[in-house]
Chains A and B, each alone.
Chain A
Amino acid sequence: DAGITQSPRHKVTETGTPVTLRCHQTENHRYMYWYRQDPGHGLRLIHYSYGVKDTDKGEVSDGYSVSRSKTEDFLLTLESATSSQTSVYFCASGGPPNWFSGNTIYFGEGSWLTVV
């Protein structure tokens, strides 16, 4: 398994407060991703990064920001948490999107966030 860890694994927070989730990988992967998973929606891409300080929006980026100051760390911030952001958040990392060489994306174990 790739060395990818998420923290915190579980968090309950109040509406309106900022929340930061951390993803740490030890594989020197260039690409990192944040997804949220909700019933009936599969995994929806929030933001992704293709290098240090290089990020781009995904399908559901409103209300979220990200930062990547080091290769190994990718932070997801909920600027002002809302109940609709209650979800399971997955981080992933992988090599360049040279899918022809079969590069694999590895997922963390998820962060369960409840906004009350």
Chain B
Amino acid sequence: TQLLEQSPQFLSIQEGENLTVYCNSSSVFSSLQWYRQEPGEGPVLLVTVVTGGEVKKLKRLTFQFGDARKDSSLHITAAQPGDTGLYLCAGAENQGGKLIFGQGTELSVKP
């Protein structure tokens, strides 16, 4: 069974601070995805990383896929209250259609 461990589970910071969320596994994934979820809604895809060592940027968000394709990180620069939400990583298995999620990181950015 492929498992994804996400850390930290909860993060409360002040506006303007930087933060990093980690997503780790002992398994290799064909790709990793990051989602953001608002209360009462379904998750929305932010980015997909597919190549070991790949780095993608989305405005103030930087996503990295580990060289061995077992882990990923999400770094937010100068966090804003609008970044508040639940961030989820998800790994796609090498064969088949399973998409497995981590436990999520609840981020709160206070003004």
On A, residues with C-beta under 8 Å from B are 31, 33, 35, 40-45, 48, 50, 56, 58-59, 90, 92, 96-97, 99-100, 102, 104-110
Contacts and interface: CB of A to CB of B under 8 A. Distances in A.
B50 to A, nearest CB: 5
B31 A99 contact: yes
Task: Give the size range of B's interface with the partner.
Answer: 20 to 34
B42 A110 contact: yes
Contacts of A109: 40-42
Contacts of A102: 48
Nearest to A41: B103
B44 A107 contact: yes
Contacts of A56: 96-98
Nearest to B104: A42
Contacts of B45: 104-106
A110 B41 contact: yes
